[in-house]
A and B are shown apart, each in its own frame.
Chain A
């Protein structure tokens, strides 16, 4: 069965610190997709990144970077020089390649990040 684990329930950092959010996934498929979403207090899930299982290249987007390692089934997310606006709940999610092309995201339990001024 597919599963996504975010072991860090809550992280508190001081502004400008770097912070890494961990994500470990389980799947039997060879083709799958991993996502990170941000949920600010307003509730809407904001898409951050998608990665497919065949692309292990790390990615950097501004202060955000992602480290995908199939060997450890991990897809970690790092925020460099954190800012107060980064405070939110962050979700890691998994989607598998399905024969019927249907869509289903399996979410982790989320990590609440608090960035203090």
Chain B
């Protein structure tokens, strides 16, 4: 079974631009979560989607948004990029319940100049 895939793998943007990252979960997984990893803040939860609905949200500004499609694929969008948004963005999928394991994709490395 194919794992979680994320595109693009690397991205360079400038301040003020917006960016969209994509995540395709493992087949059959309906929950998709996003995490931001930075050297200073570590791994932080962004949001989780299930059946096209956001079920949980971390403590991030409204510039960070996401959505999930009917095929469980998910996108996250960051508008008005700031230098501090430079990070590794990781997507994870699971079968949906909290006792299930989340499996992570390879991540998208975003650099904001």
Does more than half of chain B's interface fall in helix, strand or loop, or is it mixed? strand
Contacts of A95 in B (CB 8 A): 98
User: A75 an interface residue at 8 Å Cβ cutoff?
Assistant: no
Number of chain B interface residues as a range: 20 to 34
Interface window among A18-26, A45-53, A58-66, A78-86:
A45-53
Does more than half of chain A's interface fall in helix, strand or loop, or is it mixed? loop
Q: How many A-B residue pairs have CB under 8 A?
A: 77
Contacts of A101 in B (CB 8 A): 50, 55, 96-98
With A52-B99, A100-B55 known to touch, is A107 a contact of B106 (CB < 8 Å)? no
Residues of B whose CB lies within 8 Å of any CB of A are: 31, 33, 35, 42-45, 48, 50, 55-56, 58, 88, 90, 92, 94, 96-107, 109
**Ranked 8 nearest A-B pairs via Cβ:** A102-B55, A102-B56, A45-B104, A107-B43, A44-B106, A43-B107, A103-B48, A104-B45
